[in-house]
Every structure is written in structure tokens, then in C-alpha cells.
Chains A and B, each alone.
Chain A
Amino acid sequence: MFKYILFILSISLCTSLIWADDGFGDIFGEVPIEAGASKFTFNVSGEIGMSMDFYMDDVWDSETKATPYADIALEAGNETIEAKAAFSFSTDNLEAQLKVDDLIDELYVKAFFSFGYLEGGYIKTEWGKGDGDHVIDPLNPLDQSKGVYLDLNDMKSSEILSRLSIYLGGQGLLEFVYKPFFTPMEFSTEGRWSVFDMSSLPGAADIVEPETNKLKYSQAAARATVSLGAFDLGMMYYYGFMTEPGYKFTSTWVGPGPADYTTTTDIVYTGAHLFGIEAAWALGPLTMRTELGYWLTEDLDGDLPEFYNNRFVYLAGLDLTIPGTNLFLSAQIKGAYVFHYDGLVPTDVDVMAAYNNTAFANTVLATAELPFFKEKMKLRVTGLLQIESVGYMIVPSFFWNIKDDLELSVYAKIFGGNNTGNNPYYSWDNNDSISMSMKYMF
């Protein structure tokens, strides 16, 4: 993997680079670009900033936390090739063992042809028409180990993948993706952002995790999208694995007594096909969007407790700007229905993952945003409600563009919910916080 990354890095940086303006160079350039000629551009962009988090409850050790950070993206390219290396530096990453994806946000090369483009590297993608959250976006796993963000893109981990995109006219695209390795989702099992207490598992002392950076965990996907009149439509297929872990418990008699058993826990990942469709359309002042998907898993009959059952997933949402007010409103519901769910076996992963022991899981996300002073400032309130567990997160926030490239933001995160067993929002009830962040964009 490191060799792969170094190879891409060497391509992206060992090229003769020339500064140039972006924009429609063929039209506004001082010297017209001749056919076949190519002007190389190199851009450095990003942001540096500092965030301060004040936690209102004193359950955990660090009640106040200051986090300086710098996100830097280097981009180089011309008409036919583009390379990007995006790095993320944060003192937050010094607290734990440093991983590659803590430092490298993205690293890829993209080559453009008359029929489309081919890209390869360490990449984040977003599939689906949903706003910040999706049900048919399986290519990048989520990292919940540092808490939860309203825009799931902020929680995505980049993945090594290659993608061939073929133009379907000007308004359509056909994508083929191959991912050689598999990365499961990350979450905390202890500390402030714990979502699951691993010590409660029967074989907690002996948990075996599989090595998923092997070709046998390869995945493939395809997606077609097109804009037809007032509608943006799409369909996708993914063959791979669900990123949520499953747990296979094995008890072995070690004697001498009849009850002398030892239990080991193997983490397994559920092989699955995902079929999805998506649509977005404008209806008067409303922008509507929907996603529907079906996970066809290897636990077809729902009788294998270590694997996830088949499930139907859905998302629907709308946006509206109230005329004359600049007030932007957005609402979205995301849900799943698990087939063959009986809720009887506590060690069944579907039961372990269920909210309030139901086959349904529905989450509503709503936002109201009001810019004022010519968009120099804006107020935003976002609320998330997990319906079955009555788990919630409320995020009121204020943004002030002090200068064009300098922004101050103040926001709070408030968590809560019913104590219904598996309810992370209840367990995060002690994580209410107020944060202040200042960033400079360049």
C-alpha cells in the first residue's frame, strides 16, 4: 500500500509545474491555446485553523480541548491529466497511534480521454442524491471513532480504488469501480465516543480480526447517472461487503468439567450485493431527492447470527429556500427495514445493531439556515432524530465571514435519547459541547 501511495505521490510531484490561472483559459487566455497544446497548472489550497471544544459534562478526562489543524491540497494538471495530494495535519492525531489516513486525506491521479476519464489512488467518493447522507454509497467506510458529524462525508475514510468513468453524452456518466482491498468502518469501543462495549461480548478476551487488505476482499461497483429534463436519475450496483462488523462466537470445551468452555470471537464481514436507484428533481421552489436500495446479503434466510440479514434501505428529502427571506430549509429521512428480523437472539448482529430491538431504523435530519448581512453571517440549526430509540443530536451554529477567507464559527452539540439498550445517542449524553473554530482558507 505504501509503495502504491509513494508511486502516485512521485507522479504528482515530480512534474515540471507552472503557475497559471484557472478558468476558461481557451476563451480568456492572453495567448490562445493551440489545439493539442496543453497548459499545466499547479494549485495549493486548503485551510489552517484552530478549534476549541468545551465539554459541558465532567465525566471524561479532557473537558477542554484545543486542536490546531492544517488541511493542504496540492493539485496539478492540464487538459488530460490531474493529480491531487491532500494532507491533513492535526494535533488530534498525536494522541493515538498515527495511521496513514490520519495524514493523507486523498492521493490520486486522473487521466482524461475523449470518452471519459480513468482515475486511481486513495480516493473519497460520494454516490447518491442525498444531502450529506446516503443509503447507496458503499465505497468509503465511515470513521466514527472521533465522534459523529452531520455531514457523513467528514467521517469518510479514503480508499484505494480505480475508477473508469465513461461519458454518456454531456449529461450522463457510466462509472466502473474496482477496490482491491476492504476497510471496515471504525468506531470506538471505549471512551467518550464509544458506541459499543466490546467487553460485553462472550469472547471479549479473545477477539480475532481478519486481515482485509487481501484481494479476496476485492469489491466492484458500477453506476449510471443521467439528467433527463427536470430529473437527475441514477442506478448502481455494488458487490462486496458491508462495512459493519459481524461477530462469530465459537465455544470450545477445554475440560475437565462439563461447563469448562472457552469462547473465542471472530470478527467477520458480511458479503453482499447492493442494488440501488436514485433521483433528484426540482418542483417549483423545492428540490426533491430520493434513494432506494436493497442489500442482498449472504444471510439470505436470516438464520446466520454472525452475518447481517437482507435489508431494504431508503432515503427521501427536500430543500426549500423561502422566497424573499433567504431562509433555507432542508429535511431528509433515512431508513432501513431488516428482513427476517425476530429480535430473539441477543448475539445476532442484526439484533445487536438494532435500535430498540425493531426491524426498522429511521433517522430524520432537518436543517434551517438563515444568512444575513449579505451572507457575511449565518445562523444554522440542525437536528437529528433517531426515531426508534428517540436518540437525538441538536447542533445550533453561527458562522461569521470576518474576511473573505477568514471564518469564525461557534456551535454546540447536544445529545440525548432513551435508555433502550443499544442507543449511542443515550451513551453520548455526556458529550454535550460548545465549540469555537477559526479558519483561514487559501
Chain B
Amino acid sequence: MKKSILLLLVLLMAGLFSVWSETGRDIMESVIDNQKAESSAMDLVMKLVDESGDISSRRLQTLVLDDEGQTKTITLFMEPASVKNTRFLTLENESRNDDQWIYLPALRKVKRIAAGDREGSFMGSDFSYSDMSAGSSALDDSIHNILREESINGFECYVVESVPKEGTDPVYGKNIAWVDRNSRLTVKVQFFSRDCSEIVKELIMEDLQQVQGHWVGLTTTMTTIATGHKTIVETRQVKFDIAINPNYFSTNFLQTGRAQ
């Protein structure tokens, strides 16, 4: 009996130790580390589902290159016809806003655009520009606390609350993420209004697979709670640490569609 109690205590201690051995920040850092790569490429289909169930689709391909710690991203919109061949380039800067340019095929012109509108809808989807670009800065700009552990959709998860620090300019009041202990993917995220009184959006990640050592969710659904409108992102192809011509990340590529 004493041995059983001792064993139970040891197990409990071990469990507690495992909970407290990682902080909320450690967990969120591991989420970002899982995605880190010298380069990545994704071929995506974005399905916009409105309240009545009508679906409209966009297809895009995006390349990301880590250039000495600065991220370069080029996105090519392929469908529908109204946006086909629109190209979008972002060059991250350490000390100032990112540089962004868009190529509009109808005008055949490259235009610089300000990177200011983080809350705006990305291509009419339920994702904001801020949602699309969340990265290491999101890690440093928030305080992350583990709320609990729980099982959701078959995944054993840490539930981590991220509250923006004072002095930052957050889009959301806070968010709560369910991080799968095994894959370190956020299989569910709730985004709260600025006053934290209500959930404004919810993200669900499914079809988890390991690709070249990186866990990815091949299907991601973002739902706007107030309207029921949702955006389903299906990953057709994803590649990590591949050779990408650096000239893709240039205004000359935007203009011509060809890398030197």
C-alpha cells in the first residue's frame, strides 16, 4: 500500500515536473521552431465559404526564404481569373516596416504598398494580414501562460493563453492556442476581441503530416464567429529547405514573372 502511494506520488511529481518544465513561451517558441526552415514553398487552395454554404476558391503559391534572419516572401495568385498573375512581394526588415510591392497584371505595373493594414482581410478571406504574418515578433510581443492540458480532436494538447504586452499594438485582445504535445502544431486557436469579451475568430488545423521533419496541418479552417463565414486553406504541396532562386524575391520578378 505504501509502495503504491509512493509510486503515485512519484508519478504525480513527474507529471507536475513535466508541466512546469516548459513555460508557455517555451511551448509557443517550439511551435515557431517547428516551422523554421531556410526556405519553404506552398501550393494552396483557399476556399471561402459564406453563411449559405456558397464556396468561392482562390489558388496561390507562396515561396519563403530566410535571408540572414530576414524573411522574404513571394506570393503568386493563380485563380480566379480576376486575380490571376497578381504577384505580391514582402521583404522583412529588422528596424522598420516591411517593404511590400504588388504587381497588378491588368496594369502591368509594380506598386509599392504600405504594410500598415494588419487587420484588413487577406484576399477577402477570414484571415487578416496579421494572421498570415504571425511569427517571431508575435512570440516576443505577448506573455504566454499555460492554462491547462486537455485532449481535443484526438490530440493531447497544452492550452496556452497569449496576452499582448503593454506598449504593443495588438489586433486581438488575446488568443488561446491548443498546441499538440507531439507535433507542436496549434490544432486550435481562439482569437478574442480587443476587450477580451468575446471570441471573434476560431482556427482549426487538421490532417497533420510530417514533411521533411516539419509537422504541417494540410487543412486549416478559420471561422469568423459573428457571421459564420469561414475560410478553408488546403495545402496541395509543401516543401521545406529546398533550393529557391533568390531572384524570385525581386521587383524584377514581379514585373516579368521570370527570375534572372
Residues of chain B contacted by A405 (CB below 8 angstroms): 80-82
Alpha-carbon distance between A338 and B256 when the two chains are bound, in angstroms: 38
Q: Which A residues, 187 to 222, have Cβ-Cβ distances below 8 Å to chain B?
A: none
Alpha-carbon distance between A126 and B106 when the two chains are bound, in angstroms: 12
Given contacts A126-B107, A375-B121, A376-B124, contact A28 B237 (CB under 8 A): yes
Alpha-carbon distance between A131 and B81 when the two chains are bound, in angstroms: 23
Residues of chain A contacted by B31 (CB below 8 angstroms): none
Alpha-carbon distance between A283 and B244 when the two chains are bound, in angstroms: 31
Shortest Cβ distance from A404 into B: residue: B80
- Contact check, B255 vs A170: say whether CB atoms are below 8 A apart: no
Alpha-carbon distance between A28 and B43 when the two chains are bound, in angstroms: 7
Alpha-carbon distance between A45 and B119 when the two chains are bound, in angstroms: 32
Interface residue? A230 (CB, 8 A): yes
Shortest Cβ distance from B112 into chain A, in angstroms? 5
Shortest Cβ distance from B87 into chain A, in angstroms? 11
Shortest Cβ distance from B245 into A: residue: A26
Interchain CB contact (< 8 A) of B119 among A27, A324, A407: A324
- Contact check, B117 vs A24: say whether CB atoms are below 8 A apart: no
- B72-95 CB mask vs A (1 if < 8 Å, else 0) is 000010111110110000000000
Residues of chain A contacted by B253 (CB below 8 angstroms): 170
Shortest Cβ distance from B242 into chain A, in angstroms? 7
Residues of chain B contacted by A172 (CB below 8 angstroms): 252
Residues of chain B contacted by A321 (CB below 8 angstroms): 114, 116-117, 120
- B18-49 CB mask vs A (1 if < 8 Å, else 0) is 00000000000000000000000101000010
Interchain CB contact (< 8 A) of B113 among A287, A371, A375, A403: A287
Interface residue? A253 (CB, 8 A): no
Interface residue? A117 (CB, 8 A): yes
Shortest Cβ distance from B157 into chain A, in angstroms? 30
Interface residue? A255 (CB, 8 A): no
Interface residue? B57 (CB, 8 A): yes
Alpha-carbon distance between A130 and B209 when the two chains are bound, in angstroms: 47
- Contact check, B80 vs A374: say whether CB atoms are below 8 A apart: no
- Contact check, A282 vs B113: say whether CB atoms are below 8 A apart: yes
Interchain CB contact (< 8 A) of B114 among A24, A232, A284: A284
- A140-163 CB mask vs B (1 if < 8 Å, else 0) is 000000000000010000000000
Interchain CB contact (< 8 A) of A283 among B109, B113, B114, B125: B114
Alpha-carbon distance between A281 and B118 when the two chains are bound, in angstroms: 18
Residues of chain B contacted by A326 (CB below 8 angstroms): 117, 120-121
Residues of chain B contacted by A375 (CB below 8 angstroms): 121, 123-124
- Contact check, B117 vs A323: say whether CB atoms are below 8 A apart: yes
Q: Which A residues, 400 to 414, have Cβ-Cβ distances below 8 Å to chain B?
A: 401, 403-405, 407
- Contact check, B115 vs A170: say whether CB atoms are below 8 A apart: no
Residues of chain A contacted by B179 (CB below 8 angstroms): none
Residues of chain B contacted by A28 (CB below 8 angstroms): 41, 43, 61, 237
- Contact check, B63 vs A27: say whether CB atoms are below 8 A apart: yes
Alpha-carbon distance between A119 and B113 when the two chains are bound, in angstroms: 28
Shortest Cβ distance from A163 into chain B, in angstroms? 12
- Contact check, A126 vs B112: say whether CB atoms are below 8 A apart: no
Alpha-carbon distance between A331 and B80 when the two chains are bound, in angstroms: 30
Residues of chain A contacted by B258 (CB below 8 angstroms): 79, 112
Residues of chain B contacted by A126 (CB below 8 angstroms): 107-109
Residues of A in contact (CB 8 Å), total 51
- Contact check, B78 vs A286: say whether CB atoms are below 8 A apart: no
- Contact check, A374 vs B252: say whether CB atoms are below 8 A apart: no
Alpha-carbon distance between A285 and B58 when the two chains are bound, in angstroms: 27
Interface residue? A10 (CB, 8 A): no
- Contact check, B80 vs A170: say whether CB atoms are below 8 A apart: no
- Contact check, A230 vs B96: say whether CB atoms are below 8 A apart: yes
Shortest Cβ distance from B79 into chain A, in angstroms? 8
Interface residue? B182 (CB, 8 A): no
- Contact check, B56 vs A404: say whether CB atoms are below 8 A apart: yes
Alpha-carbon distance between A323 and B194 when the two chains are bound, in angstroms: 14
- Contact check, A374 vs B250: say whether CB atoms are below 8 A apart: no
Interface residue? A257 (CB, 8 A): no
Interface residue? A114 (CB, 8 A): yes
Q: Which A residues, 116 to 147, have Cβ-Cβ distances below 8 Å to chain B?
A: 117, 124, 126, 131
Q: Which A residues, 326 to 369, have Cβ-Cβ distances below 8 Å to chain B?
A: 326
Interface residue? A264 (CB, 8 A): no
Shortest Cβ distance from A24 into B: residue: B61
Alpha-carbon distance between A399 and B205 when the two chains are bound, in angstroms: 34
Interface residue? B103 (CB, 8 A): no
Shortest Cβ distance from A285 into chain B, in angstroms? 3
- Contact check, A114 vs B260: say whether CB atoms are below 8 A apart: yes
Interface residue? A261 (CB, 8 A): no
Shortest Cβ distance from A236 into chain B, in angstroms? 15
Alpha-carbon distance between A283 and B115 when the two chains are bound, in angstroms: 9
Interface residue? B239 (CB, 8 A): yes
Interface residue? A167 (CB, 8 A): yes
Residues of chain A contacted by B229 (CB below 8 angstroms): 374
- Contact check, A441 vs B260: say whether CB atoms are below 8 A apart: no
Given contacts A285-B117, A375-B121, contact A173 B255 (CB under 8 A): yes
Given contacts A24-B248, A112-B258, A321-B116, contact A404 B121 (CB under 8 A): no
Alpha-carbon distance between A282 and B101 when the two chains are bound, in angstroms: 10
Interface residue? A21 (CB, 8 A): yes
Jot down 12 A-B pairs with beta carbons below 8 A, ordered by A. Answer: A21-B78, A23-B78, A24-B76, A27-B41, A28-B237, A282-B100, A321-B116, A321-B120, A401-B82, A404-B58, A404-B81, A407-B82
Which A residues lie at the B interface, using CB under 8 A? 21-24, 26-28, 45, 79, 112, 114, 117, 124, 126, 131, 153, 167, 169-173, 227, 229-230, 232, 280-287, 319-321, 323-324, 326, 371, 374-376, 401, 403-405, 407, 441-442
**Inter-chain pairs besides A22-B84, A227-B112, A404-B57, 10 sampled, C-beta below 8 Å:** A23-B43, A24-B63, A28-B41, A170-B246, A170-B250, A284-B116, A319-B114, A323-B117, A323-B118, A441-B81
User: When A and B form their complex, which 8 residue pairs have the shortest distance between CB atoms, in order from nearest?
Assistant: A285-B116, A170-B250, A375-B124, A404-B80, A321-B117, A282-B114, A441-B81, A374-B124
